Chains A and B, each alone.
Chain A
Amino acid sequence: MIPFDYAPASDPDSAVAAVTARPGAAYLGGGTNLVDHMKLGVATPDLLVDVTRLPLDRIEELPDGGLRIGATVRNSDLAAHPAVRRRHAVLSQALLAGASGQLRNSATTAGNLLQRTRCGYFQDVTTPCNKREPGTGCAAVGGWNRHHAVLGASEHCLAVHPSDMAVAMSVLDAVVTVLGEDGERRVPLGEFHRLPGDSPEQDTVLAHGELVTSVELPPLPAGARSGYLKVRDRASFAFALVSAGAVLAVEDGRVRESRIAFGGLAHKPWRATYAEEALRGAAATDEAFREAADAELRHAQPLPGNAFKIPMTRNTLAALLRELATEVRS
């Protein structure tokens, strides 16, 4: 770890000014990913601006039934919030499916969105990695890629985004509020994370110095239910092999509205628009759910090491939608 300076931020604007002014500066939230990467030499900030004491730690219920979640709300507090559990079950479930109790107590909303891939090559500075060091190559291509992307990958990077929470926020149509030197902007969650293309070093659309201040969730459509299912190699405390989050509204046995996203499949939370399209007005049956999954997974390009993700995702999505449809009916 290289030496760095430390400064607790007193207000968002001066935090943004401080980080923007220094190319090597970074924000410190819960630290669960950043400190990890600093020890590994993956991240080498020379100034940490600590934003955890900023007044961004509130969850506000909005008049329209939506929620505004402060950037520094801890994952455990977000998962436990009554309004989240009542109205946005997918978010609470996704948060609780991730990490461990200790990590959730430290990790923040913004930090969770901004966490970086757990690709073993990315985290090992002795191996080539275009995301860590552009132009060095991708060791996962031809290497160990069991956990890697089947959708939206490029020859330069096969990494997947590790967040469960972001998958839930994707189906909740979340909007991220970002503060920069030129003021605030709002980024829909679907546009927040990037696909790797030929610049996998950029995970998101944020510019250096931009600070996530909150995430807004619009209310769920009337009668809709939401949920999250995650498949992993052991029963807890492991990243997803695949996961699915969904919002589902069923009326008279037919799907009125569905929003579907996958985790563990891509460089970003993967909003499954083909699947949603396939389900529009369809009968809420297991067969239709599987066909919807296939409508999305048809576009996948699995590798020999991760082709299992296709049937695993199809079955997981079908199970999740069955569960939500059953709940709706009952």
Chain B
Amino acid sequence: MPHRRCHQRAAYAQVWHRAVGWYWGGVDFQLTLRVDGEARSLTVDTRTTLLDTLRDRLSVTSPKKGCDHGQCGACTVLLDGRRVLSCLTLAVAHDGAEVTTAGGLASADGELHPLQRAFLDHDGFQCGYCTPGQICSAAGMLAEAAAGHPSAVTAAADDGPDSQGGPDGTVALSDDEIRERMSGNLCRCGAYVNIVAAIREVSAK
């Protein structure tokens, strides 16, 4: 840990009752995250995003920094099971959270997740930099569809929750559904055709 001139551990929920001064060196918080199944405790600057916490503090470099402003999806992780952008997520706001990266989707003995195998088989990437984000996003997206969450494609095609989807409330994923739901993950190499093929294969199983 770098040395700091001012070092503050604030007690949750009481902090605003005190006059909080100006801390040039940042304001530090202690927190614990469960990352890819492993509890990790550390002190972070309030300014540190979940992405930088993972990459620079915990050496979990699976989520990538492509834009740092929520515009590319390369930093996508599953946060308490939902896909989010770790670059716009402040670590300090997620003490105790469960974080899954593409690295954690593979099993501990190295066996790849079905999405990872499908991305390999369909060549759903080239440079690979957006890929962990694509795969986390796909995992989150499949869960959303299974839970019956609509997309713009679902919403345009029909009219409310009663008239569509499978009998169990899930949304069947056409290619158009997959494309729309994956549009938050940019791929500059242009691997989309193969990304869709990979996800289609997994979603059909």
**Proximity string of chain B (174-185) to chain A, C-beta cutoff 8 Å, 1 when within and 0 when not:** 000001111111
Question: A46 an interface residue at 8 Å Cβ cutoff?
Answer: yes
**B156 adjacent to A93 (CB under 8 Å):** yes
**B184 adjacent to A28 (CB under 8 Å):** no
**B90 adjacent to A35 (CB under 8 Å):** yes
By DSSP majority rule, is chain B's interface helix, strand, loop, or mixed? loop
**Proximity string of chain B (113-140) to chain A, C-beta cutoff 8 Å, 1 when within and 0 when not:** 0000000000000000000000001001
Closest Cβ–Cβ distance, residue A91 to chain B (whole Å): 10
| Known contacts A6-B93, A103-B70; A47 and B20 CB within 8 A of each other | yes
| Known contacts A7-B12, A18-B16; A89 and B155 CB within 8 A of each other | yes
**A31 adjacent to B89 (CB under 8 Å):** yes
**B13 adjacent to A8 (CB under 8 Å):** yes
Interface residues on B, range: 35 or more
Question: A144 an interface residue at 8 Å Cβ cutoff?
Answer: no
Please tell me which one of the listed residues A5, A18, A21, A22 contacts residue B27 in the complex, with CB atoms under 8 A apart. A5
| Known contacts A6-B10, A39-B69, A103-B184; A79 and B150 CB within 8 A of each other | yes
Closest Cβ–Cβ distance, residue B35 to chain A (whole Å): 18
Cα distance A28–B45 when bound, in Å? 16
Please tell me which one of the listed residues A14, A18, A35 contacts residue B88 in the complex, with CB atoms under 8 A apart. A35
Question: B41 an interface residue at 8 Å Cβ cutoff?
Answer: no
In the assembled complex, which residues on chain A have CB atoms less than 8 Å from the CB atom of B185?
100
Question: A96 an interface residue at 8 Å Cβ cutoff?
Answer: yes
Cα distance A236–B183 when bound, in Å? 6
**A50 adjacent to B93 (CB under 8 Å):** yes
Cα distance A48–B92 when bound, in Å? 11
Please tell me which one of the listed residues B46, B70, B141 contacts residue A48 in the complex, with CB atoms under 8 A apart. B46
Question: B57 an interface residue at 8 Å Cβ cutoff?
Answer: no
**A86 adjacent to B160 (CB under 8 Å):** yes
Cα distance A76–B12 when bound, in Å? 28
In the assembled complex, which residues on chain B have CB atoms less than 8 Å from the CB atom of A100?
73, 183-185
Q: How many residues of A contact B (CB 8 A)?
A: 52
**Nearest residue, chain A, Cβ from B15:** A7
**A102 adjacent to B162 (CB under 8 Å):** no
| Known contacts A47-B16, A237-B183; A3 and B47 CB within 8 A of each other | yes
Closest Cβ–Cβ distance, residue A228 to chain B (whole Å): 9
**A92 adjacent to B140 (CB under 8 Å):** no
**A36 adjacent to B70 (CB under 8 Å):** yes
Question: A207 an interface residue at 8 Å Cβ cutoff?
Answer: no
**B85 adjacent to A32 (CB under 8 Å):** yes
In the assembled complex, which residues on chain B have CB atoms less than 8 Å from the CB atom of A1?
47
In the assembled complex, which residues on chain B have CB atoms less than 8 Å from the CB atom of A50?
93
What are 7 A-B interface contacts by the 8 Å CB criterion? A4-B27, A5-B46, A35-B88, A48-B46, A101-B137, A101-B181, A106-B85
| Chain B interface residues (CB < 8 Å from chain A) | 10, 12-17, 20, 22-27, 29, 45-47, 49, 68-70, 73, 76, 82-85, 88-90, 92-93, 137, 140-141, 144, 147-152, 154-156, 159-162, 179-185
User: Which 6 residue pairs are nearest across A and B when measured between Cβ atoms?
Assistant: A100-B184, A18-B16, A236-B183, A7-B15, A96-B152, A80-B149
